[in-house]
């Protein structure tokens, strides 16, 4: 009986769309995400103009304060809120509506995160936490900043556990069935989010008593390592979120079928298992980590590229298969059969294309000797403006053009589609110009996280200026993109014509081979993940603790 009710609910949600309470939840998350984009983007423009030597910031607002807020708003708020809003809409659609308990957890998570962000932002605004979003000790911010981080983590955990409960409940009622693919992606993302945030939680709990003054010194190397165990995982959480749309949504939009379901799930499993030790490639030129450990981690990092290369094949195979069915001919002629004028395709497609140089750059810079050439230069900033700024964010933009109409019970008008195409092009051009210039000037030696300076008119530093000028041009185009996108989000949520919009989930091929059931054994996947994390971390972390130098007291250097 219960399953009958359940099935009925699922069918109704498929026919009548999302229930209003679940819609409100996702809308709230998305609104916060795009408010963060507007604010963070504006701060980004200020930095670009400063770095190009065009703008001197007023005394009460220093470059590093702006940079700290830019990072926090875009890499934490925008991405986390979008990811949760998107996947919760997916869970609701996939699994017959959110359980009341789960919905409540997501709201508690929302509240905790908002409290956390307010607590973290106040000291930044007061110039008491100008420590960048990486907050490396022994720089010590106001303790309130770290309390904020604790609340953010607790909020994220609420949402992670909410999704686990939702999925577990569905599995109980659907014994022997595979969890629908988008919910499977959500499970992978929330598993990573939970386990990835444990190291940074330990770090923050080490910092708080030290920042307050109860403890005199801190182990600098250990905190830094714990940070990157989280930091790198976070990057791949956004990436996995974007990938979910590439595998599941994009094929439907171009009128095709999904690539192999087994392969999709294997890619998710591999990304979950191999991700966390990737953090060490941020520490390739650190002291206190042995060369042999660093070499082991070249493998740990490069291994993550493998599932991405699998994805690259799967995506282009799907495109070609679909385009040929529509009569596309020739070696590359079938490209013309793809719906380039549809923003729901164009945005994620350009995002994927950007991941070709983005991923290649990632492979290059995780290789030890090459990393030494570019570490902490503008090259790295260029790298993540391509990967996060285009591959992830442009996919998120593309998702908006069907997700927001879907949750708002409105439709995407042709005019809005055109605006979306324009936004996508402006964004891609702006970000590409900026990221290319950043890579280039980074190779020449220009450092990241440094306000405009000529280093006492040193000839080398002066030769960087023409490249840095592109940061202002790119930044200006991106600001236009931000404004258009935020306008589109608000318009589609509140003003677009009413109607029903589909949640576009592609089907498998008719002759698809069934997916083996071991892909559902999350207990086993998590154990393997923990073993891999242990392989990567136990030796160096024990070394950092046992052979630790005397610790460092807190410093305020701003």
Instruction: Single out the residue of 255, 339, 504, 551 in contact with other proteins (rule: CB under 8 A).
Output: 551
Q: Which range of residues in 198-206, 287-295, 337-345, 431-439 is near other proteins by CB under 8 A?
A: 287-295
Question: In this complex, which beta carbon is closest to other proteins, that of residue 449 or of residue 491?
Answer: 449
Decide: is 257 part of the binding site for other proteins (CB under 8 A).
no
Question: In this complex, which beta carbon is closest to other proteins, that of residue 98 or of residue 221?
Answer: 221
Tokens of 446: 């220009």
168 vs 445: CA distance, rounded Å: 51
Instruction: Single out the residue of 122, 353, 373, 480 in contact with other proteins (rule: CB under 8 A).
Output: 373
213 vs 194: CA distance, rounded Å: 29
Per-residue buried b or exposed e for 225-242, using 16+ beta carbons within 10 Å of the residue's own CB: bbbbbbbbbbbbbbbbbb
- Encoded one letter per residue, x for contact with other proteins by CB under 8 A and - for no contact, window 528-547 reads -------------------x
Footprint on residues 133-152 left by other proteins (CB under 8 A) = 136, 138-139
Residues near 540 by Cβ (< 8 Å), separated by ≥ 6? 225, 280, 289, 290, 293
Q: Which range of residues in 9-17, 41-49, 383-391, 451-459 is near other proteins by CB under 8 A?
A: 451-459
Question: Chain-centre distance of CA 22, in angstroms?
Answer: 23
Q: How far is CA 127 from CA 64, 109, 141, 270, 377, in A?
A: 9, 27, 9, 41, 25
441 vs 447: CA distance, rounded Å: 9
Question: Chain-centre distance of CA 191, in angstroms?
Answer: 15
Q: Which range of residues in 23-31, 238-246, 280-288, 330-338 is near other proteins by CB under 8 A?
A: 280-288
Decide: is 494 part of the binding site for other proteins (CB under 8 A).
no
- Encoded one letter per residue, x for contact with other proteins by CB under 8 A and - for no contact, window 79-108 reads ------------------------------
Q: Please report which helix (H) or strand (E) contains residue 93, including its range.
A: helix 79-94
Instruction: Single out the residue of 452, 469, 480, 541 in contact with other proteins (rule: CB under 8 A).
Output: 452
Residues in contact with other proteins, total (CB under 8 A)?
71
Minimum distance of other proteins from residue 375's CB (angstroms):
5
Question: In this complex, which beta carbon is closest to other proteins, that of residue 330 or of residue 414?
Answer: 330
Terminal alpha carbon distance of the chain = 65
Decide: is 224 part of the binding site for other proteins (CB under 8 A).
yes
Q: Are 114 and 158 in contact (CB under 8 A)?
A: no
Footprint on residues 322-341 left by other proteins (CB under 8 A) = none
Decide: is 287 part of the binding site for other proteins (CB under 8 A).
yes
Minimum distance of other proteins from residue 216's CB (angstroms):
10
Q: Are 199 and 229 in contact (CB under 8 A)?
A: yes
Tokens of 536: 């990567």
Decide: is 267 part of the binding site for other proteins (CB under 8 A).
no
Instruction: Single out the residue of 53, 339, 447, 504 in contact with other proteins (rule: CB under 8 A).
Output: 447
Minimum distance of other proteins from residue 270's CB (angstroms):
12
Residue 284 backbone dihedrals phi, psi, to 5 degrees: -65, -30
Instruction: Single out the residue of 55, 263, 422, 473 in contact with other proteins (rule: CB under 8 A).
Output: 263
Q: Are 437 and 387 in contact (CB under 8 A)?
A: no
425 vs 230: CA distance, rounded Å: 33
Q: Which range of residues in 52-60, 88-96, 147-155, 279-287 is near other proteins by CB under 8 A?
A: 279-287
Decide: is 255 part of the binding site for other proteins (CB under 8 A).
no
Instruction: Single out the residue of 1, 15, 331, 459 in contact with other proteins (rule: CB under 8 A).
Output: 459
Footprint on residues 174-213 left by other proteins (CB under 8 A) = none
The radius of gyration computed from the CA coordinates of the chain, to the nearest angstrom, equals 23
């Amino acid at each position: 009986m219960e399953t009958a009710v359940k099935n009925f609910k699922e069918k109704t949600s498929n026919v009548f769309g999302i229930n209003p309470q679940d819609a409100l939840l996702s809308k709230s998350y998305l609104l916060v995400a795009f408010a963060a984009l507007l604010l963070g983007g504006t701060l980004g423009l200020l930095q670009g103009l400063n770095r190009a030597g065009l703008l001197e910031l007023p005394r009460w607002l220093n470059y590093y304060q702006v940079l700290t807020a830019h990072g926090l708003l875009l890499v934490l708020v925008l991405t986390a809120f979008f990811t949760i809003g998107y996947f919760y809409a997916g869970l609701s659609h996939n699994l017959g509506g959110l359980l009341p308990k789960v919905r409540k957890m997501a709201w508690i998570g929302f509240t905790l995160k908002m409290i956390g962000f307010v607590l973290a932002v106040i000291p930044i605004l007061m110039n008491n936490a100008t420590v960048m979003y990486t907050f490396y000790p022994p720089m010590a911010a106001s303790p309130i900043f770290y309390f904020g981080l604790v609340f953010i983590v607790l909020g994220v955990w609420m949402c992670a556990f909410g999704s686990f409960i939702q999925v577990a409940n569905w599995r109980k009622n659907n014994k022997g069935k595979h969890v629908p693919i988008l919910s499977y992606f959500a499970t992978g993302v929330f598993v990573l989010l939970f386990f990835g945030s444990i190291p940074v939680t330990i770090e923050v709990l080490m910092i708080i008593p030290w920042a307050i003054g109860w403890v005199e010194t801190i182990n600098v190397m250990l905190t830094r390592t714990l940070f990157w165990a989280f930091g790198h995982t976070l990057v791949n959480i956004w990436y996995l979120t974007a990938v979910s749309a590439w595998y599941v949504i994009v094929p439907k939009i171009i009128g095709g079928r999904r690539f192999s379901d087994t392969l999709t799930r294997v890619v998710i499993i591999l990304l979950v298992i191999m991700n966390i030790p990737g953090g060490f490639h941020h520490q390739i030129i650190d002291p206190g980590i042995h060369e042999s450990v660093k070499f082991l981690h070249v493998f740990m990092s490069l291994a993550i590229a493998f599932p991405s290369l699998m994805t690259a094949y799967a995506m282009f195979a799907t495109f070609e298969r679909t385009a040929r069915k529509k009569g596309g001919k020739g070696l590359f002629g079938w490209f013309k059969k793809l719906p380039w004028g549809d923003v729901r395709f164009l945005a994620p497609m350009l995002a994927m294309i950007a991941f070709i140089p983005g991923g290649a750059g990632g492979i290059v810079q995780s290789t030890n000797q090459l990393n030494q050439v570019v570490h902490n230069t503008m090259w790295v900033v260029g790298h993540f403006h391509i990967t996060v700024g285009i591959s992830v964010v442009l996919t998120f933009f593309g998702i908006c053009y069907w997700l927001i109409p879907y949750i708002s019970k409105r439709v995407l008008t042709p005019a809005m589609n055109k605006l979306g195409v324009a936004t996508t092009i402006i964004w891609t051009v702006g970000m590409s110009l900026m990221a290319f210039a950043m890579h280039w000037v980074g190779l020449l030696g220009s450092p990241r996280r440094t306000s405009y300076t000529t280093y006492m008119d040193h000839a080398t530093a002066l030769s960087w200026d023409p490249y840095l000028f592109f940061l202002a041009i790119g930044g200006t185009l991106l600001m236009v993109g931000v404004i258009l996108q935020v306008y589109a989000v608000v318009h589609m949520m509140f003003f677009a014509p009413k109607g029903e919009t589909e949640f576009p989930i592609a089907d498998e091929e008719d002759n698809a081979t069934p997916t083996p059931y071991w892909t559902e054994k999350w207990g086993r996947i998590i154990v393997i993940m923990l073993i891999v994390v242990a392989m990567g971390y136990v030796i160096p972390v024990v070394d950092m603790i046992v052979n630790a130098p005397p610790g460092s007291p807190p410093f305020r250097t701003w």
